[in-house]
């Protein structure tokens, strides 16, 4: 069931990202779409409304979706069958040093207060 959960989350990722890019909470949009009102019911990010996307002329190219799913399945299949994985280690960048409180020995601005 872990694999099914991964696929479910992967399928929700595009609609969440589109909603976030439109300034709307992606989790709310994905949840509302999961309630289901037919296969063509969706979120129009331009008008921030829910509607029948086919009737509105908003169509997602099938090849793009199919390719994304095939690539995701291919990578996840490799991860399941591989005993090791090579990835870049994130670099920890040190914090910038604090500025000295007296401006490093420079003279103050006397008489200003």
Given a cut of 90, whether residue 28 has pLDDT beyond it is: yes
Rounded Cα–Cα distance for residues 27 and 31 (Å): 6
Given a cut of 70, whether residue 110 has pLDDT beyond it is: no
Which two structure tokens, joined as six digits, stand for 23? 């300034």
The three state secondary structure string of 55-106 is HHCCCCCHHHHHHHHHHHHHHHHHHHHCCCCCCCCCCCCCCCCCCCCCHHHC
Q: What is the pTM of this model?
A: 0.52
Q: Which of 32, 54, 58 is nearest to 45 (CA)?
A: 58
Question: What pLDDT score was predicted for residue 104?
Answer: 55
Question: What pLDDT score was predicted for residue 98?
Answer: 65
Half-sphere CA count of 10, side-chain side, radius 13 A: 16
Rounded Cα–Cα distance for residues 52 and 90 (Å): 43
Question: What pLDDT score was predicted for residue 79?
Answer: 76
Rounded Cα–Cα distance for residues 12 and 100 (Å): 49
pLDDT category of residue 10 using cuts at 50, 70 and 90: confident
pLDDT tens per residue, range 38-78: 778 889 999 999 999 889 988 776 777 788 888 888 887 88
Which domains, from first to last, does the chain contain? 2-79 (1.10.560.10)
pLDDT tens per residue, range 79-101: 778 777 777 888 888 776 766 66
């Amino acid at each position: 069931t872990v694999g099914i959960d991964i696929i479910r989350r992967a399928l929700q990722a595009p609609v969440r990202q589109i909603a976030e890019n439109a300034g709307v909470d992606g989790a709310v949009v994905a949840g509302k779409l999961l309630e289901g009102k037919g296969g063509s019911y969706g979120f129009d990010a331009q008008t921030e409304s829910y509607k029948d996307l086919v009737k509105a002329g908003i169509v997602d190219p099938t090849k793009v979706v199919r390719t994304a799913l095939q690539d995701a399945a291919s990578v996840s299949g490799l991860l399941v069958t591989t005993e090791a994985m090579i990835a870049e280690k994130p670099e920890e960048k040190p914090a910038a040093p604090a500025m000295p409180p007296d401006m490093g020995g420079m003279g103050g601005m006397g008489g200003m207060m």
